[in-house]
Chains A and B, each alone.
Chain A
Amino acid sequence: MGISIIKVPDIGEGVAEVELVEWHVKVGDLVKEDDVLAAVMTDKATVEIPSLFDGRVVELGADIGETLVVGATLLTIEHADEGNATAPDTDAAAASPVAQKEPEEKLPEPAPRAPEPKLPPAAPPVAGSVRAPRAEGAAPLASPAVRARARAAGIDLRRVAGSGPAGRITDTDLDAVFAAGPAAVAVPKPGRSRREGAEDIRVVGLRRKISESMSLANARIPHITVIEEIDVTAVEDLRASMNAGKGEKPKLTMLPFVSAALCRAIDQHPEMNAHYFDDAGIIRRHNPVHIGVATMTDKGLVVPVMRHAESLGPFQLAAEILRLAEAARKGKATRDELTGSTITITSLGPLGAIATTPIINHPEVAILGINKMAVRPMWDGAQFVPRKMVNISASFDHRVIDGWDAAEFVQRIKTLLENPALIFMED
């Protein structure tokens, strides 16, 4: 029998540390070579780590949410082969052989673990949080007396795990629920009732990344937000006629037009397509326009990047938006597709509200928020006419963008979108 250590591999691209976001195995599990052991997250992408051996997991090296440096012990596997081994601590895919370390050799230092934040004592875990080990829709197994007791207390037995044979819920199992407070597994009753307790949710993975970048942006960047209303009737008419004759091309939404208008506005305001490295005191203006498109996924907000938007036509933009959103939602977006934006668009579609105060995607200097479109009565000088109106809420880094420039930039976008021919006209 031998013991092997699997380490956090080098994921490449200069990633030095990763956050453990998911264990696919637990102590005692038998694993085969190439079975996925865990998922770790770099600053953008999630990477699955496969096993390099057949064997049994004897120890896990970290808890979910911990940050591990590359090369730290991920887990320990016991295998049938003689002799101990340590997995190469490099990317297996890269297949660059690295001298294997002897088992007796000192193991790498345990990963510097992220400090555990001290929290007030959390509410005890409730029995109701235990997943009942039965198939979806299967009736909970319990004697009529146990069922009656649960009913009388308003406890939903479908949410109670049974410790008896075949998963039968015993009276003792119910006692545990009572000890935890029946509210944990109560049948929701009509009307209002008091709720007790609280639930602590560990902020890990993508949510932590979002939290960190939002904190950074809001703490460092003094935002100025300019809100303007835009008459999009013309661009909507154009969109409708282009969609009518689109053939096999993807359906155009508003976003490709906004992206195109943004690129054209940047032609006149290159200061908006920039990164401000405040520590170094450098503003780096970019020639290409890589538009980050804020996208909601099941796990939270991600910002896939539409590269070289300045070179794409509306249908190409639409196709790219579609592809990136799909990849982001499926978690398939590559690291490359999730980094390198120079300016960001955020839109909540029908939930877009009248105005928002977008937070800049640090170290960018501008973000364009698209609010909800609505038909509003507009005064044309003689009468009110129904027009399709949309508001835009654009935030700027006020340290490097003055209010005047911000306003001019927004007016330029307004002009372009209200006269869409200008978007496609060469100057």
Chain B
Amino acid sequence: MKTETCKLLIIGAGPGGYVCGIRAGQLGIDTIVVEAEKPGGTCLNVGCIPSKALIHAADEFAKLHSLSGENALGISATAPMIDLAKTIAWKDGIVTRLTGGVASLLKKAKTRYVTGRAQIINGKTVEVSTSEGALRISCETMVIATGSKPQELPSLPFGGKVISSTEALDLQEVPNRLTIVGGGYIGLEIGTAMAKLGAQVTVVEFADRILPQYDAELTRPVAARLKELGITLHLATRANGLSEDGSALLAEGPDGAVEIPSDKVLVTVGRAPVTQGFGLMDLGLTMDGPFVAIDAHCATSMRGVYAIGDVTGDPMLAHRAMAQGVIVAEHIAGLPSIWDKRAIPAVCFTDPEIVTVGALPNEIEGSKTTVFPFAANGRSMTMERSDGFVRIVFDPKNELVLGFHAVGSAVSEMSGEFALALEMGATLTDIADTIHAHPTLTETVQETAQKALGRALHI
């Protein structure tokens, strides 16, 4: 068996693992990244990037479609057609470009990259089955960055017409009737895109509203838009499996049993950490529920073994994994890095989009909340999208901003300002007294802070 040694071994080349590999290489640490699939992980290959590509295509299609009828803008266009196979090929091109980019960045950082499935032998050794046979790698330090995979429902195992988000982002044609089990952000993002592309979409959600992790006020504009797009919602409804002939999803709702004829059933009921089948559990690490427990240096309970990304728990977000990857690499290099982030922005690319950073209303005792609607913003009118609002949660005692939320078209781009403000410890006055360019959607952020201080201008 071939053997290799290195100082740092990273298992998984998703956003956590590859960023850790690049940073470690930059810091002169002899590093190997092992990845069973392509570099980039869920995010680049079957998650964030592909879904955003699909959403973009769907938006373009829907825009043209709306312009093909009577419209206020006075544009006449013919009804669009879509060849989804071509769209998917275009998406694959982006993915290939990005994953290739990751590979070359690792190379530039002089980090070695091994394709193959890793099996952990002990905390210092893994065995990788590569296309050229087994390879044993010994390391001083190991980083577990194996990520997560779509959660399966026992009553709806993946296969046939029951698909996960991975397959949904690789469909060659738009399904006529798409049923989505799970009204969280993944299901609604894909569902909205498919509805815009002409699918008849039905969402089955066990909770009594969509996006149950957010408050009802924040999700109301999304629910309204889903209705506009003709998406059917079955709330407080449990999916029980496919009908005998496989043509329909059987569910149990508040009004009794429902049978939803479906061509595809997309199950998006969450994601589960990848902890099984590669020797991780044999290390006997301290777990935090299904996740690997870590400290502020991302260290596990075993000396020299670190874990980052989705395998360490919620929020399962690429940017959290990336930040952890940097901290681990710098910590191993002896730099004083530690997890002390104040804000992890979370974006939901539904239509309209939702951004949340920091505390929700009523999450912190004594906090107050101020809302400012996009209806009072000029730029949003010119974009024909005045739905939604910006919301700031703050401490009335010292004006300290505790949380930002926004729902509206294109608000995802506000996440940077929100996160920066929280990391900097901004107060309402800091935001209210910062000039926000006119005419932009971000003026609403300034106005929200001004309103909280009792000096809003445009309302």
Spell out A's residues near B (CB within 8 Å).
139, 141-144, 147, 151-152, 154, 164-168
Contacts and interface: CB of A to CB of B under 8 A. Distances in A.
A139 B398 CA distance: 15
Nearest to A169: B425
B342 A165 contact: no
A144 B398 CA distance: 20
Interface in B390-427: 395, 398-400, 423-425, 427
Given A147-B340, A154-B336, 13 more contacts: A139-B340, A139-B342, A141-B425, A142-B425, A143-B424, A143-B425, A152-B336, A165-B398, A165-B399, A165-B400, A166-B395, A166-B399, A167-B398
Given A151-B336, A152-B336, A166 B400 contact: yes
Given A165-B430, A166-B398, A167-B398, A151 B425 contact: no
DSSP majority for the B interface?
A: loop
A164 B338 contact: no
Contacts of B338: 151
B429 interface: yes
Contacts of B340: 139, 147
B423 A141 contact: no
A139 B338 CA distance: 14
**Top-6 shortest CB links A-B:** A141-B425, A166-B398, A166-B400, A151-B336, A168-B425, A165-B427
Interface of B: 336-338, 340, 342, 395, 398-400, 423-425, 427, 429-430
9 contacts: A141-B400, A143-B424, A144-B423, A151-B336, A164-B425, A165-B400, A165-B429, A166-B399, A166-B400
A143 B423 contact: yes
A369 to B, nearest CB: 48
A143 B427 CA distance: 12
| Interface-central residue, B338, B340, B400, B429, by most chain A CB under 10 Å | B340
A30 B54 CA distance: 66
Contacts of A143: 423-425
Nearest to A151: B336
Nearest to B340: A147
B449 to A, nearest CB: 13
A224 to B, nearest CB: 58
A190 to B, nearest CB: 14
Nearest to B430: A165
Contacts of B425: 141-143, 164, 166, 168
Nearest to B401: A166
Nearest to B400: A166
| Interface-central residue, A139, A143, A165, A166, by most chain B CB under 10 Å | A166
A307 B56 CA distance: 90
Nearest to B399: A166
B184 to A, nearest CB: 29
A385 to B, nearest CB: 49
A317 B440 CA distance: 82
A166 B342 CA distance: 16
A167 B398 CA distance: 8
A141 to B, nearest CB: 4
A139 B425 CA distance: 11
Contacts of A141: 400, 425
Nearest to B336: A151
| Interface-central residue, B337, B423, B425, by most chain A CB under 10 Å | B425
B358 to A, nearest CB: 12
A165 B395 CA distance: 12
Contacts of A154: 336
Contacts of A139: 340, 342
Nearest to A144: B423
Nearest to B429: A165
Nearest to B338: A151
B41 to A, nearest CB: 26
A165 B401 CA distance: 11
B171 to A, nearest CB: 42
Contacts of B423: 143-144
B338 to A, nearest CB: 7
A164 B424 CA distance: 11
B360 to A, nearest CB: 18
Contacts of B400: 141, 165-166
A147 B336 CA distance: 11
A166 B428 CA distance: 10
